[in-house]
Amino acid sequence: MELEVAKAAIEAAVPGCRLEMVVNPSPSAQHSLLMDAEHAVAVATWLRDAEGMRFDYCSNVTGIDWPAKELTEKVKVKKLVDGPNGPEEKEVDEVRKTLVPGFLEVVYHLFSVERRDGPVVLRMRTVDREARVHLPSLTGVWRSADFQEREIFDLYGVVFDGHPDLRRLLMWDEFKDHPMRRDYVEPDDYEYEPTAHDEVLERARQHVIAAGGRTA
């Protein structure tokens, strides 16, 4: 399916949705559609059910982390510079820095079992990487997103609103950080999952102290 055609069809079917083509310059030419979070569930449901679309098979769901980055560009600026005959206007190179804010991205790869078509690639982006990391869950549309969205929540920290059971999938529940983020720093000392063993050791230590012994 040509993505341009799909985009026009979605825009006609889901009023108010904002879609944007994301061109993929690699030889694979798998272009994608960037959806706004507000209409994502409506767009997904329509893509799944509409005649001629029937993208009933959401194969792959994954996250990507795009941290904030600084873009530097050289700009020629006219400036007054002190010359031998007093101030004069000259073209001077100036380095201008712009900060592109970071965000988290979620990518869905859709296929159609019925029409043997695909992939159609959908993307959604969070506003930033810290506070506004909420996106709508598409688990209600495709069950296959269930564990995969949990994995993204676990490893990237995207919070999926409307997910039936949003818990960490691979890391343990007490774990704090999101290891797949680009700026994740491995701890020097891993905080292991507390076990009954730790408690016993601590009680034994207290016992030794109470008895007037020395502990390491």
Helix (H) or strand (E) holding 35: strand 32-35
Strand partners, 103: 66
User: Could you give the string, one character per residue 27-66, with x where binding to another protein holds by CB under 8 A and - elsewhere?
Assistant: xx-x-------------------------xxxxx-x-x--
Residue 90: strand pairing partners: 79
- CA 21 – CA 7 distance, rounded (Å): 8
Strand partners, 80: 89
Q: Is 26 in the site for another protein (CB under 8 A)?
A: yes
Q: How far apart are CA 60 and CA 22, in angstroms?
A: 18
Q: From the CB of residue 43, how many other CB atoms can be counted at a distance below 10 Å?
A: 23
Based on the shown chain and the rule CB under 8 A, indicate whether residue 9 belongs to the binding site for another protein. Answer: no
> Which among 9-17, 21-29, 34-42, 73-81 is the span making contact with another protein, rule CB under 8 A?
21-29
SS3 label, residue 25: coil
Establish if 142 lies at the interface with another protein (CB under 8 A): yes
Q: Which stretch binds another protein (CB under 8 A): 8-16, 34-42, 74-82, 111-119?
A: 111-119
The residues binding another protein (CB under 8 A) are 24-28, 30, 56-60, 62, 64, 107, 109, 113, 116, 119, 121, 142-144, 146-148, 155, 168-172, 179-180, 184
